[in-house]
Amino acid sequence: MHSLEPPREDATLIRLEAADALIAQWTRRHGAARDQLLPLLHMLQEEMGFVDDALVAPIAAAFNLSRADVHGVVTFYHDFRRVPAGRHVVKICRAESCQARGGAAIEAAAAERLGVAMGGTRRDGQVTLEAVYCLGLCAVGPNALVDGRPVARVDADRLDAIAREIAA
Amino acid sequence: MKRVYVSRDMASVALGADEIARTLAQAGCDVVRTGSRGLFSIEPLVEVEMPEGRIGYGPVGAADVGKILDGTHPHRLGDVGALPFFVSQQRFTFARCGITDPLSLEDYAAHGGWRGLDAARAAAPQQVVDIVKASGLRGRGGAGFPTGIKWQTVLDAPDGPRFIVCNADEGDSGTFADRMLMEGDPYCLIEGMAIAAHAVGASRGYIYIRSEYPFAIDTMRAAIDRAAGRIAPFVIEVRAGAGAYVCGEETALLDSIEGKRGQVRAKPPLPALKGLFGKPTVINNVLSLAAVPFILAEGAQAYADVGFGRSRGTMPVQLAGNVKHGGLYEVGFGITLGELVNDIGGGTESGRPVRAVQVGGPLGAYFPPSMFHLPFDYEAFAQAGGLIGHAGITVFDDTADMAQMARFAMEFCAVESCGKCTPCRIGSTRGVEVMDRIIAARDAAPVAAEGAAGGYLGEALHSRAPSRIDTGIAAQTALLRDLCDTMKFGSLCALGGFTPYPVLSALDHFPEDFGAPAPIEQAAE
């Protein structure tokens, strides 16, 4: 399937082959009706860490959709990453209820303390800092999600603890 | 062995409940993980089973376990249900939340579960629809459309497959009732969906849960597995969202389940007639469906007896943001905004004066304390230029910059717009630019003397802008109103259509933040 593309490094090739196997396994179990596309993308991101642009073609083939269609879906949803994230992912809530509790200052402090701008990955690949719009913990903000673990009442001390956790 | 109760709700866990539960288990306690009671100023909360009933301690930390178990901790609350915050509530939908083990079928049945479904299945579909109509239940997602009428449309649709879809894409900041219910009493939602399925003849249902709610997704999936036999032949499947706010709009949600970009569909056709996969579909919010078991079990009249005007029953109000006693407060419609914010919520947590409250999430209006007499009622809020939405109330103290909040509303709309219609897609970005000019001009001329607003300094700041654009405050404010008008009437759905609510309400009620003179206080009559 990738024979027309220039030769890739071995690691990439192995990764793409693994993804092809995951897609085949998925469609055998769940079928390839279009409504299985989002669950498949969630699974791929869970397994691979991100949805590589190189997977758009095999997914389109498996679902009998155009590549534009699949690309359109992958890029529409904020959750799907097209490049790998850092080893740790810190999400800070930017929504109104957290703002009402000093969220903007915490957002700035987090960027400074973790050494990475909002929406970016630190150069050493250790952490990605992202905005999230509401975790539903609106009476105990400002809130964060650290590698999927919710943290409430984020202040300077909790940011320090998060920074230590990320350094480890 | 001492039995203790600790919440597993995501908010409780975020405050450290897991660590406390672990410590209690190590101390030899039988730890039961429940949902949250709904008052977050006393969380993390531990309840210890005693001969006289459950005795609460909170807020507490893992280091407090010794003193909790010997009963000497100073944060002893006694019977949590007897606290003023709970005594004054009318918990119809959230009766079990915080009390039972969310995944225990035994607990659910012992606390009145399945009575609604049994009553429904003993009745004909039309009778069930009539009961829901008679209860006066209106869509709790925000639009307030009568639930029974929606079900009637689906029941009357031509033969063929039909679906029940639960909208659990609770993206509005300041709201968390859906999340709390799914984590704290998932069988209640499952029962409500099974009743809806019986009423309209559906055999399959979907719950679309936003990905920001991982705890709710896990709990609902586990609960569906366990309840499968009880609701058969009806089957339910959970679908996880992928971080798109607009998928809370019902037609975008349907497209998302179908595996497409979550873009809004033009209505008509109504989803009740052409919904999921083009089939007749009941699509209701979590709270609408979760209200139904009570209505079927206790009768339509018991529900309709509570409420105000055309808003019948109870509303699980969510007190959020800078509020002292934040949490979930279920009460009949008609309570005033001021009672909720000041009496129940206890004012701001920061101790500063309340400046504004936003009701109904990012698309809801900002109200000043001078409007706290408003009764919580769909019609009263609409008349006052706002909306109840999903009944989240976000409290701000006097440090809030309302022009920045208006800018944020536009920015949020720009980030989350699905892109299908122009007023929303382009208007939101233009809105951010206009707000930036207003804020820049305001900051350049902080004293808003008549005629000086934006004046020379404002012009100078934007000297690189084409000279024909008047970047002064008056012109930009007029442009903002014009833009809001276009978005309100030209957008396909509530995202573009309602973003003007927070923007214009901030402008109307807090003009001083937009560089205009403060409104003259109305003299008392």
Domain boundary pick from A47, A76, A105: A76
Give the model's confidence band at B465: pLDDT under 50 very low, under 70 low, under 90 confident, else very high.
Answer: low
pLDDT in tens, B497-515: 999 999 999 999 999 999 9
Domain co-membership, A25 together with A68: yes
Q: What is the pLDDT of residues B63-76, one digit of tens each?
A: 999 999 999 999 99
Q: What integer pLDDT is reported at residue A8 of this predicted model?
A: 56
Chain A residues touching residue B326 (CB < 8 angstroms): 138-140
Last residue of a domain, one of A76, A105, A127: A76
Can you give the pLDDT at residue B449?
Answer: 46
> Measured between CB atoms, does B415 come within 8 Å of chain A?
yes
A9 band by pLDDT with thresholds 50, 70 and 90: low
Q: What is the CATH number of domain B3-87?
A: 3.40.30.10
* A1 within a domain of the structure (yes/no): no
State the average pLDDT over residues B223-236.
98
A70 and B CB contact within 8 Å: no
pLDDT at A14: 84
How sure is the predictor about B458, in pLDDT bands with cuts at 50, 70 and 90? Answer: very low
- Interface residue B395 vs chain A (CB under 8 A): yes
Residues B241-295 have pLDDT tens digits of 999 999 999 999 999 999 999 999 999 999 999 999 999 999 999 999 999 999 9
Q: Is B244 within 8 Å of A36 when comparing Cβ atoms?
A: no
Mean pLDDT of chain B: 94
The CATH fold assigned to B105-304 is Rossmann fold (3.40.50)
CA distances from B75 to B42, B45, B53 (A): 9, 10, 17
Among the listed ranges A62-71, B95-104, B411-420, B470-479, which one has the minimum average pLDDT value? B470-479
Which class would CATH give B314-395? alpha beta
Residue intervals in chain B for CATH 3.10.20.600: 314-395
Strand extents, DSSP E, B262-412: 281-285, 307-308, 311-312, 314-321, 327-332, 354-359, 366-367, 392-397
pLDDT in tens, A17-75: 999 999 999 999 999 999 999 999 999 999 999 999 999 999 999 999 999 999 999 99
Contact between chains at B327 and A139 (C-beta distance less than 8 A): yes
Query: A-chain residues within 8 Å CB-CB of B11?
Result: 136-137, 139-140, 150, 152
Cβ of residue B394 closer than 8 Å to a chain A Cβ: yes
Using the Cβ of B251 and the Cβ atoms of chain A, whether some distance falls under 8 Å is answered with: no
Kindly tell me if the per-residue pLDDT of B447 is higher than 90. Answer: no
Q: How far apart are CA A20 and CA B5, in angstroms?
A: 46
Mention every residue, 6+ apart, whose C-beta is less than 8 A from residue B423.
Answer: B486, B487, B490, B491, B496
Q: Tell me chain A's radius of gyration from C-alpha atoms.
A: 19
> pLDDT digit string (tens) for B136-189?
999 999 889 999 999 999 999 999 999 999 999 999 999 999 999 999 999 999
| pTM as predicted | 0.94
Q: What is the pLDDT of residues B372-396, one digit of tens each?
A: 999 999 999 999 999 999 999 999 9
Contacting residues of A for B418, CB less than 8 Å apart: 76
Contact B261 A38 (CB under 8 A): no
Mean pLDDT in residue range B94-100: 98
The closest CB to that of B321, out of A132, A138, A152, belongs to: A138
Which of A36, A138, A147 is the mutation pick for testing B, counting most B CBs within 10 A?
A138
Quick one: A95 and A124 in the same domain? Answer: yes
Which regions of chain B carry the CATH code 3.40.50.11540?
A: 105-304
Interchain pair A138, B394: CB under 8 A: yes
Which tens digit of pLDDT belongs to each residue from B11-58? 999 999 999 999 999 999 999 999 999 999 999 999 999 999 999 999
A77, B262: Cβ pair inside 8 Å? yes
Beta-bridged to residue B87, according to DSSP, are: none
Contacts of A82 (CB under 8 A, 6+ apart): A50, A51, A52, A53, A74, A75
Which of B212, B245, B415 lies closest to A135 in CB terms? B212
* Confidence band of B518 (pLDDT split at 50, 70, 90): confident
CB contact under 8 Å between A133 and B257, yes or no, is no
Q: Do B326 and A132 touch (CB under 8 A)?
A: no
Domain hosting residue A53, numbered range: 10-76
> Does residue B453 surpass a pLDDT of 70?
no
